[in-house]
Amino acid sequence: MSQTLNSPSLAAPKRLVIASRESRLAMWQAEHVRDCLKKLYPDCDVQILGMTTRGDQILDKALSKVGGKGLFVKELETALEDGRADLAVHSLKDVPMVMPEGFDLACVMAREDARDAFVSNDYASLEDLPKGAIVGTSSLRRESVLRAKLPHLEIHPLRGNLDTRMGKLDRGEYQAIILAAAGLKRLGLESRIRAYLPYDPYTPAAGQGALGIETLSKHPNIKQWLAPLNDLPTLFAVSAERMVSRQLGGSCEVPLAAHAVWDQSQMQIRSFVASVDGKAICIANGNARVESIEDAEALGFAVAQDLLAQGAADLIPKISK
């Protein structure tokens, strides 16, 4: 199910430039958007502007220590501001929960598998890993669940693009790594997945598996051109997820998960906030009839208030300081 152009009389675009990170996965995403736009507007010249972001350059520190996932989008936003690009394509989980003034999350495309994936050359599942096995992850959210459920494992940080992370596994630096299933599937690496981690307890990050397209607020025509690419089930789901995260100050510094599914006007959502060591966790679930973004955000807000009532706010400052 997709939205249609708000203004049927809007003239088709003649040229559009997509800003993208230069990693293989980011370029796949940008090329996917380019191909979708070319189908909509066959006469449009759609170009991709590849860029390296600070998030790509800083690989020796955890994201939570150097500014968070916003490091992956700032340079792309600069390209929008100075007119070098018309739209920027992001993995939605990398997009800050509060958009900077003058920027819009103009489009959310159909979601790929939102689950986390277990990848290992020697073991079939997390439960098969021996005591002291090294598991790599870039996510405090994943780390908190792993420490709670499997305290006998060693959790080590894992940075770099998907190919870099897979290379570290293949060189034997880790016995296993945890990645978003969506990226592996998009790059044709599904065969490397040994197991999919269940949504309970391994609830994904807000927006995981979805693509978001960012534009400047002052160019509403671009948002209208992108409208047919919006996927309503995904848009509603991530609107709820991002509201949870927004209310809780979600960032790389907070082990926070939120995953929603919208079907036949009904939405279910699961969310948690935890301490990094996994010893404290607040979990909330929600279910409601959702027929608009406002409904979705209202459900997300209610789930966030449930978490706060359980004491989630007591966990967040300890992590953020």
The string of DSSP codes covering 36-62 is HHHHH-TT-EEEEEEE--HHHH--SS-
Query: How crowded is residue 146: how many other Cβ atoms within 10 Å of its Cβ?
Result: 22
Domains of the chain: 1-110+211-230 (3.40.190.10), 116-196 (3.40.190.10), 232-321 (3.30.160.40)
Q: At what angle do helices 312-320 and 293-309 cross, to 10 degrees?
A: 90
99: region left, alpha or beta (phi > 0 left; psi from -120 to 50 alpha): beta
Structure tokens at 267: 């939405």
Whether residue 94 lies in the annotated active site: yes
What pLDDT does 321 receive? 38
Distance of CA 26 to the CA centre of its chain: 12
DSSP secondary structure letters along 76-121: HHHHHHTTS-SEEEEEGGGS-SSPPTTEEEEEEPPP---SEEEE-S
Q: How far apart are CA 254 and CA 271, in angstroms?
A: 13
What pLDDT does 159 receive? 80
Write down the catalytic residue from 56, 86, 94, 116: 94
CA-CA-CA-CA torsion for 247, 250, 255, 261, nearest 10 degrees? 70
Q: How far apart are CA 259 and CA 265, in angstroms?
A: 16
Share of the chain above pLDDT 90, in %: 77
- Give the SS3 label for residue 195: strand
CA distances from 285 to 44, 141, 216, 244, 304 (A): 44, 17, 34, 11, 10
C-alpha closest to that of 301 among 257, 248, 253 = 248
What pLDDT does 73 receive? 79
What pLDDT does 5 receive? 42
For the chain, residues with pLDDT lower than 70 are: 1-9, 53-72, 250-252, 317-321
Convert the pLDDT of each residue in 144-160 to its tens digit.
Answer: 999 999 999 999 999 88
